[in-house]
A and B are shown apart, each in its own frame.
Chain A
C-alpha cells in the first residue's frame, strides 16, 4: 500500500525555535510538493520539486522557510525561526511524471500539525 509518509504528525514548539518536517514520497514518484493548510487560505502551495530539483518555491516565505530534497526518498521543510503565524497543517504530496494522457493526480500525506506558541 504505497503512501506518502510525513513526520512528525504533531509538533508544538516555542516561537524562535527551528522546526524540520520530513516527507517520504511514494516510491517512483518524481515530483514532490509542500502545501500548507490554513483556515483562511485553504491549501497553499509552498514549493515543489521534480527529480529533486526545486521547480517553484514562490509560495514560500524565503526569509525563514527552506525546502530541500537531499535524495529521492526524503524531502524536508524547515522553518527557522518559527513564529506563531506559522501554525498550520503542512502537507507533503507526491506524483508521477505528469502527462497529458494520465492527468495530474497527486497523493497527499496525512500532514504535520504545527503549533508555534
Chain B
C-alpha cells in the first residue's frame, strides 16, 4: 500500500523548458513534504521542502506546490538544464519526525 505515489516513472523535457514532476499521497495527516534528487551511483540529496501551512515554496529554479485538498504536490524546474537529469523522489512525513515515506521516483531526462 503506497502512501506516496509517483505515477510517472520517467519524463523527458527539452533544455530550457519547464519540467513538472508530480506526487500524490493518501494520508491527510502528513504535514511536511520534501523532494530529493539522486544521480547514478550517489545517495539522494535534499532539494526543497514545504510544510502544510504553505502552498508554494521557491528556491531558485525549483518551486514546489502543495494542494492539500487534492493531496498532491508537484515540483517545477524552470528552466530545465541537462544537469537536472536525475531521479527525483518525493517524500512525506510529520513535522518534527524523521519517518519519511518516499515515492518510487521519477527519472527526469533533460535533452540538450
Contacts and interface: CB of A to CB of B under 8 A. Distances in A.
B22 interface: no
A45 B43 contact: no
A25 to B, nearest CB: 13
A40 B95 contact: no
Interface string B5-29: 0100000000000000000000000
Contact of B44 (A41, A56, A91, A104): A91
Interface residues of B, number: 26
A100 B43 contact: no
Contacts of A4: 43
Interface stretch (B60-68, B69-77, B102-110): B102-110
Range class of the A interface residue count: 20 to 34
The winner among A35, A42, A56, A93 for most chain B CB atoms within 10 A is: A42
Chain A: interface secondary structure? strand
A88 B9 CA distance: 18
Interface of A: 4, 31, 33, 35, 40-45, 48, 56, 91, 93, 95, 98-100, 103-111
6 contacts: A44-B102, A45-B99, A56-B99, A104-B97, A105-B34, A108-B36
